[in-house]
Amino acid sequence: MNFTQMHDRLRQELLRRMQRGTLSVSLLARQTGFGQAHLSNFLHSRRQLSLEAMDRILAAQHLTVADLLPVLGRAQVGRESADESAIPVVSHATALFEALIRPTAVQSMLQLPAAALKSIRPRAPNPRYAWQRFVAVRVPASDALAMEPLVLPDAIALIDRHYNSPLPYRPSRPNLYAVRQNSHLTLRYVDFLSNHLVLRPVNLAYAVQLIEANAGEAPNDRLVGRIALILNEL
């Protein structure tokens, strides 16, 4: 990774934190001693930072250079394996907001056959292809109950973040999606109704939910990705 790429990764990470509401330009200015205009120019790609300035921002945000590196699509787990791919298991917030998964955000790695992953068809608008495609999340009991018996507590769900199209992956079968509800990730079958998403549970004890897209937002912008695989027991 060269110096320009490091700038881009740092910029993306700061903007991601601002999107989540955990950081602002004024707060970063207070933490680093830089002027807001100076930081704003960096965030809008109008200037770059010196090495010293990057070090101050990394220290202020408790980041390291390793945090700016994406997780490799493949991993070695004690041995070389040509027929396995390693998928990062991450928090719900990371799956929702991080285009590139930082090494420090990885909770564990899930080994899956590479051939099976390659056979999964993507369908997403072009900007989403800049995101690291496959991530996995654990589903706590509080989130799994509405989808029982399809999803059980502590299941691992594989998310294809390159598939947030409303079109069915298979004819006559609904897609199961990871859906963003504010800053929360939830698993639901989804129907599209005008400018709304209709979230349907499996467990009939739970209500159907209707989510309206925000101004300037398409309904499928709320879709984190299609659930390509559920592992209820490991």
Tally Cβ neighbours within 10 Å of residue 205: 8
What is the arithmetic mean of pLDDT over 113-134?
86
Q: Which of 3-12, 22-31, 144-153, 173-182 comes out lowest in average pLDDT?
A: 3-12
- The answer to whether residues 52 and 59 touch, using CB atoms and an 8 Å cutoff, is no
Residues 120 and 191 in one domain: yes
Q: How far apart are CA 22 and CA 187, in angstroms?
A: 25
29 and 130 housed in the same domain = no
Instruction: List the one residue out of 83, 92, 91 whose CA is nearest residue 108.
Output: 91
Residue 164 maps to a domain: yes
Domain that includes residue 27, residue range: 3-68
Same domain as 219, residue 147: yes
| Mean pLDDT, rounded, of the chain | 85
How many Å apart are CA 117 and CA 98, to the nearest integer? 21
Strands 223-231 and 108-113: unpaired
Residue ending a domain, choose from 68, 93, 123: 68
Average pLDDT value for residue range 75-85:
44
- pLDDT at position 216: 67
Q: Are residues 60 and 93 in the same domain?
A: no
Looking at the structure, tell me whether residues 159 and 54 fall in a common domain: no
- Indicate if the pLDDT at residue 41 is higher than 70: yes
Q: What is the pLDDT of residues 52-70, one digit of tens each?
A: 888 899 888 888 877 777 6
CATH code of 8's domain? 1.10.260.40
Per-residue pLDDT for 113 more than 80? yes
Match 């691992």 to its residue by tokens: 156
On whether residue 30 sits in a domain, the answer given is yes
Residue 188: Cβ-neighbour burial (10 angstroms; 0-12, 13-18, 19+) = buried
Judge whether residue 39 has pLDDT over 80.
yes
Helix (H, G, I), strand (E, B) or coil at 51: helix
Same domain for 107 and 215, yes or no, is: yes
- Domain assignment present for 76: no
161-197 pLDDT per residue, tens: 999 988 889 988 889 999 998 788 999 999 888 778 8
- 217 and 172 in a common domain: yes
The verdict on residue 78 lying in a domain is no
Whether 26 has a pLDDT exceeding 50, the answer reads yes
For CA atoms 149, 155, 156, 161, give the dihedral sign.
positive
The domain tally of the chain equals 2
Three-state DSSP state, 170: strand
More confident call, 45 vs 201: 201
Structure tokens at 202: 């499996």
124 part of a folded domain: yes
Query: Is residue 107 domain-shared with residue 138, that is, in the same domain?
Result: yes
User: Residue 129: which residues within 8 A CB-CB, separation 6 or more?
Assistant: 122, 162
118 located within any domain: yes
On whether the pTM is more than 0.75, the answer is no
Would you place residue 1 in the very low, low, confident or very high pLDDT band (cuts 50, 70, 90)?
low
**DSSP bridge pairs for 31:** none
The tens digit of pLDDT for each residue in 142-154 reads 999 999 999 999 9
Read off the pLDDT of each residue in 119-142 and give the average, rounded to a whole number.
88
Please indicate, yes or no, whether residues 143 and 192 belong to a single structural domain of this protein. Answer: yes
For residues 19 and 104, membership in a common domain is answered with no
CATH code, 144: 2.10.109.10
pLDDT value of position 234: 58
Cα–Cα distance measured from residue 114 to residue 132, given in angstroms and rounded to the nearest whole number:
16
Q: Are residues 205 and 163 in the same domain?
A: yes
- The helix (H) or strand (E) run that includes residue 212 is strand 209-212
Q: Which helix (H) or strand (E) holds 6?
A: helix 3-20
Is pLDDT at 76 greater than 50 in this prediction?
Answer: no
> Quick check: is 186 in a domain?
yes
Instruction: Tell me, yes or no, whether 218 and 103 share the same domain.
Output: yes
Tell me, what's the pLDDT at 157? Answer: 96
